[in-house]
Structure 1
């Protein structure tokens, strides 16, 4: 049996790097795929620049919802035209390893795909000239809903998922407001007792440049940026959005996940730090590193979670 992929590109004014991404898709050792591109651009002038290359790969170009990158990816993943065995999110300015689709396919073919499964992994960080800067953090603790509530370990540009996982997205309201499509997807799949597969081997070169919406999560500058976001209350705001989204789709969550979510709500709502710490302990929530968990405690002290 030949497994087919739908490659899902959510674009917005792709000016410089889309061609390299298209070429890396063309060079894949696994060649059973279709490309769907949902565009949020103000104009379609960029399509003239890439029209020949998009035609070569048979890309189907769709109109995006124009309300942000998360909605663009989620609306594309739920498009009824998609009929595949596996689905791969794809950013407009990355570069894929030629073995990406084939190697990830081997993981899925050895599993029961009636269960929602979501693959994600590390990335190689490159600059605008495709020079290697480093790699995204290596996470060693197991993916779970108790981690997903307070941390996203899966970059959307690495994610591949099966139809059982896609069906979870299809069961969500179309107007659901989320912080990011990848973080929500991590929460959704783990919360519904699916499996998230975290791969320490990188298959994607993630291009770090000034126009990126989300920066690379490496180095002390990234740590300082996260501290500033914490102190500014950004994480608290994000958690509020995520909790509201999860309450909206709570019928999809397992009883254990619902319990964990309620304990997280109690943790955030309690007036006393000691009470917040007690509920955090009861919930079992964790981040992937010691410093991350220390930051979580500090956030609880300051009521910034």
Structure 2
């Protein structure tokens, strides 16, 4: 029998788009699910919308950490003692799932085993009114730890974890503690890093399974067009991307006991690299850091030489 799935959602003043997402959960062809919501003290109609949904569907609501980021809210939910064991699907409050999303992810993950597994898929990018913009592009890279330190291939709005992956994440969160998790800028990127470093099965699905709403409130938004490229270049040039890489690597170092020896060597090589100059670029290259394309890797190494990553 297909397993029971817990859908984990982090909310914060999401009333504008939340009803459409909740309706899409209710339309899933995989019916055996329950919703687990961590709400960061919403002051709009979000609590009322969730309460209404709970009259018809299984929903467990817990208070969020109110740490100021969606990443902290999601990680708090994943480590919450009330969250049941088993497969978990992450859901953003402002997107819309296509009806077969859960069923397809579970088929790709396969029977539950002891090896952690992580699934993500492509999306149809839409504007705030869900008018189609474009389809996201599958990455031209094999996922792995060297790539995970440099970029995120597993976007959070489509993530599904098997039970073993959730158990591993909860081990890591226990090692970090609340202060450590709040230092992580991007929860989905860190999940990819942790699972890649621990030898998990990493499954990228080229089929779109969700409508990814693009609006000013996005934490990052989609890539694949000029606007997305410029946004990411601005993050790189400002040093924000590099600071995020460093913060997440330091969090991974605190969970090094969960990583493979090869991943620990790669992580150590990154953290021990000189702060700037050609030596830093060479150290990152020796450690195996790379992006999905050769030009992307070249930009990464150039930014490393300038001390931006």
Residue pairs, 1:171-250, within 5 angstroms: 171-172=171-172, 173-175=176-178, 176=180, 177-250=183-256
The 2-side partners of 1:51 and 1:277 are apart by: 52
Pairwise CA distance, 1:284: 1.9
The 2-side partners of 1:230 and 1:108 are apart by: 34
The 2-side partners of 1:5 and 1:297 are apart by: 40
Deviations 1:239-277 (A, max 9, x none): 22112101111111111001011111233x26541x334
Contact (CA 8 Å) 1:17, 1:92: kept in 2 or not? yes
Unaligned runs of at least 5 residues, structure 1? none
Contact (CA 8 Å) 1:7, 1:89: kept in 2 or not? yes
Contact (CA 8 Å) 1:122, 1:203: kept in 2 or not? yes
Contact (CA 8 Å) 1:116, 1:195: kept in 2 or not? yes
Deviations 1:149-200 (A, max 9, x none): 0101111111000121111221122322211110110000011111211111
Partner of 1:73: 74
Partner of 1:26: 26
Partner of 2:140: 140
Partner of 2:257: 251
In 2 relative to 1, CA 272–16 (structure 1 residues): closer, same or farther, beyond 3 Å?
A: closer
Contact (CA 8 Å) 1:78, 1:166: kept in 2 or not? no
The 1-side partners of 2:226 and 2:118 are apart by: 29
Q: What TM-score, normalized by structure 2, do the two folds share?
A: 0.92
Contact (CA 8 Å) 1:95, 1:204: kept in 2 or not? yes
Pairwise CA distance, 1:43: 2.9
Contact (CA 8 Å) 1:39, 1:64: kept in 2 or not? yes
Partner of 1:169: 169
Pairwise CA distance, 1:44: 6.3
What secondary structure does 1:174 align onto? helix
The 2-side partners of 1:107 and 1:77 are apart by: 22
The 1-side partners of 2:282 and 2:38 are apart by: 45
Q: What TM-score, normalized by structure 1, do the two folds share?
A: 0.93
The 1-side partners of 2:50 and 2:266 are apart by: 47
Unaligned runs of at least 5 residues, structure 2? none
Contact (CA 8 Å) 1:5, 1:84: kept in 2 or not? no
How well do the aligned residues superpose, as a CA RMSD in angstroms?
1.7
Contact (CA 8 Å) 1:73, 1:181: kept in 2 or not? yes
Partner of 1:63: 63
Length, aligned pairs only:
302
Partner of 1:12: 12
Partner of 1:98: 99
